[in-house]
Amino acid sequence: MKLRSSWHQTLNYKTTPGDEVEDMFILLNEVKRQIPSITAVSSGAIASDYQRLRVESVCSRLGLVSLAYLWKQDQSLLLQEMITNGILAITVKVAAIGLDPAKHLGKEIAFLTAHLHKLKELYGINVCGEGGEYETLTLDCPLFVNARIVLDEFQTVLHSPGSIASVGVIHPLAFHLENKDTVISLDNDKASDSSLEKKGSVFVVQGDFPQRSQATCQSNSETTNLVEVRDDRIYISKTKKDNIFSICCWLQDSCKTSAGSHEDLAVVLKHIESQLAGYGFGWEHVLYIHLYIADMNEFATVNETYVRFITQEKCPFGVPSRSTIELPLLQASLGRAYIEVLVANDSSKNVLHVQSISSWAPSCIGPYSQATLHKEILHMAGQLGLDPPTMMLCNGGPSAELEQALGNSEAVANVFNCSVSTSAIVLTIYCSADTPLPERLKIQEKQDSFLKQMRLLQLDKGSKCKILDPIFLYVLVPDLPKRAFVEVKPILFVPEDAETAVTSVQNPSSFTVANRWGFQHAQWHDSCIQKCVVSGKICAIILSITENIVVKICSESLGVNDEDVDHQNSVSKGHMERVLRFCVYLLDKVIMENGFSWEDTMNLRTYFPTASGIPLETLSLALKNAMNELAEMDQRVQVGKEPIYNIVPVLAAGSSAASMNNIITCELFARKS
């Protein structure tokens, strides 16, 4: 088979006839045909996205799993580990400043270790050669059971002599195999069995390979046959921001006709796709997807539907990041599937999509990414407490899962040169209903100690990043993927200029917001608010309305004392409209005082516990009326055809893991263009 060169040289690879990657596809396709039990491919990628993405592309086309257990490991430690474990490799190419073909070609890596580390300090080279600094030929290693390779004759070729970084290559001309000494063991039978086992794991693939690459996987472009759905059952919300906005879609009472979550999801995704097309956009413009489903038992079929719409082929700039949780959708008459997408009108996003299983962080095998960076905001996928090498949930219960999930989030953040402990704006912690109350207390303790430890580590590293004071939202949900106890969803601020002063605004501007609906500022209002503001860039707010706060709001409107209000029935007595007016008033006050407007809103979610008995229609109508009334009072506020808010049913929500007892929780995220 004639070997080809690299024709497709951009980072994200797509099938290109004549490219060398197609040779790998042909070879692995033949391996898979002759050895059907093969399910995965292991590669030695350490830091090269270019190499990793090409292996992952081929594996994806062939239905194989990519294993990259060296990925993101410390190269100095890795080099020493390889030498210690008996890997005898010599340099057959050098191409870096400080590496001289006359001195360093043909030398063992063990001999060059000290020199490589010196060059790392001087010039920042990769000591394992991941930047193309050098290439090696392995002459002996533990996998070579019977013999080692001895190079008898070779030719040295200089490609660019006399330059700053001379390039030299060794061309082997003759070699022979040298038998290894017999291994002496106290247990000869055991040694023999081990040797046979190693021999049995080696297969020889023979035959003439086809000279063209044909994808064996089915096309992902096909979509399911969609059931006709009346327009009055399809609900759409959209924020008013033009350059980056959110669209939300759900169905009403689908349980009467739907065959399951996958059918509802197909309808919802189709309508989202139609909405995007109406703006001249496609799935490639989506940054983030919140996937809410009614039954986590249907996750596999839901995912099959999802990947028919959102594919790598449709997203050449990278597939969006994603969070998936189960919500009590049916109890709120919201159908079986509920989608929220965050959309940008440009292609400047930077997507991290590692599909290889490694020790670095959990892989994303499929069309969803670990994180998406867009205009200084890092939208991170929901992280479970998965052990990366095994992709299994770690042992130790909810607090151990949280620690692992935060550690996974930190590994992803480090790729973007930031830390969850210093750059987080909002941290949403989803807790499964299976998490007992005492364990929720441990979750918050573990979270606080982890973030504190990480901050100290960042300071020890001499990090110049200013520390943000993040806001926290805890949400209790029926279930999570893999039956996890915890899922962490971070949003981080990653300034383009590392020296940019990133500080939360403590003092509001001098702008004064007029009193609305008779509300006047009171000291207790501040207890409802968490905010993280990056001056002139970002404003994130979480507004928590507990039962006690409801009583205060209703007491003001009735002109009576707190103790005269029925605490148990305060919401059911028709005060929900007053409560939601208060929410809109307070959100308006915070965003205006910090120099933002409703036009800057990227998303606005209203979480409500289904057990409260508040009908969805009541909430939706009350919010709609409040926004319309605000627009009548303030000409700067404009109300569009669709509402800008999403209503999200949950089991419970709150600002602490121990007391998720909010009647209403509002989450607003705004950014300046």
- Give dist(CA 563, CA 565) in Å, integer: 6
Place of tokens 């919140």: 290
Count CB-CB contacts under 10 A for residue 352.
20
What region, left, alpha or beta, does residue 468 occupy, with left being phi > 0 and alpha being psi -120 to 50 degrees? beta
At residue 389 the predicted structure's pLDDT band, cuts being 50, 70 and 90, is very high
Share of the chain above pLDDT 90, in %: 58
In one-letter notation, the amino acid at residue 189 is D
Helix (H, G, I), strand (E, B) or coil at 650: strand
- Whether 325 has a pLDDT exceeding 90, the answer reads yes
Mean pLDDT to the nearest integer, 275-299: 94
- Give dist(CA 363, CA 538) in Å, integer: 30
- Residue closest to 607 by CA, chosen among 550, 547, 651: 651
Instruction: Please state the separation of Cα 121 from the chain's center in Å.
Output: 33
DSSP string for 126-169 = -TT-TTSSEEEEEEE-TT--SEEEEEEEEEEEESSTTSTT--EE
Q: Do the beta carbons of residue 359 and residue 388 sit within 8 Å? A: yes
* Architecture in CATH for domain 348-498: 2-Layer Sandwich (3.30)
Instruction: Report residue 133 as tokens.
Output: 């600094």
Place of tokens 């949003």: 491
> What's the residue count for the chain?
673
- Flag the least confident range among 21-30, 217-226, 239-248, 433-442: 217-226
Residue 258: DSSP 8-state: -
Share the mean pLDDT of the chain. 85
Distances (CA, A) of 657 to 61, 292, 442, 473: 43, 21, 9, 8
What would the CATH number be for the domain defined by 77-179?
3.90.1490.10
Place of tokens 């702008």: 511
- Residue closest to 406 by CA, chosen among 458, 463, 447: 447
Pick the CATH number of 231-347 from 2.60.260.20, 3.40.50.150, 3.30.1330.40, 3.50.50.100: 3.30.1330.40
The reported pLDDT for the residue numbered 195 is 44
Place of tokens 């410390």: 74
- Residue closest to 578 by CA, chosen among 603, 555, 611: 555
pLDDT tens sequence across 201-211: 567 777 666 65
Instruction: Report residue 92 as tokens.
Output: 């057959």
Domain ranges of the chain: 20-67, 77-179, 231-347, 348-498, 523-556+573-650+660-671
The reported pLDDT for the residue numbered 569 is 44
- Segment holding 669, helix H or strand E: strand 664-671
337-344 and 286-293 as β-strands: parallel, antiparallel, unpaired?
A: antiparallel
pLDDT tens sequence across 495-527: 987 555 444 444 444 455 667 888 888 889 999
Share of the chain above pLDDT 70, in %: 84
Instruction: Please state the separation of Cα 374 from the chain's center in Å.
Output: 13
Q: Do the beta carbons of residue 312 and residue 60 sit within 8 Å? A: yes
321-326 and 286-293 as β-strands: parallel, antiparallel, unpaired?
A: parallel
Residues paired with 653 in a beta bridge:
475
The reported pLDDT for the residue numbered 407 is 96
Residue 35: DSSP 8-state: -
Place of tokens 């219960």: 397
Q: Do domains 348-498 and 523-556+573-650+660-671 have the same CATH topology?
A: yes
Sign of the C-alpha dihedral, residues 562, 567, 573, 578? positive
- Give dist(CA 323, CA 287) in Å, integer: 12
CA atoms within 13 A on the CB side of 279: 24
- Residue closest to 591 by CA, chosen among 236, 237, 241: 241
The reported pLDDT for the residue numbered 642 is 84
- Give dist(CA 382, CA 487) in Å, integer: 6
What would the CATH number be for the domain defined by 523-556+573-650+660-671?
3.30.1330.40
Mean pLDDT to the nearest integer, 253-261: 64
Alpha helices in 570-650 (DSSP H): 576-593, 616-633
- Whether 556 has a pLDDT exceeding 50, the answer reads yes
Q: Do the beta carbons of residue 330 and residue 291 sit within 8 Å? A: no
pLDDT tens sequence across 432-459: 999 988 898 899 899 999 999 988 888 7
In one-letter notation, the amino acid at residue 496 is E
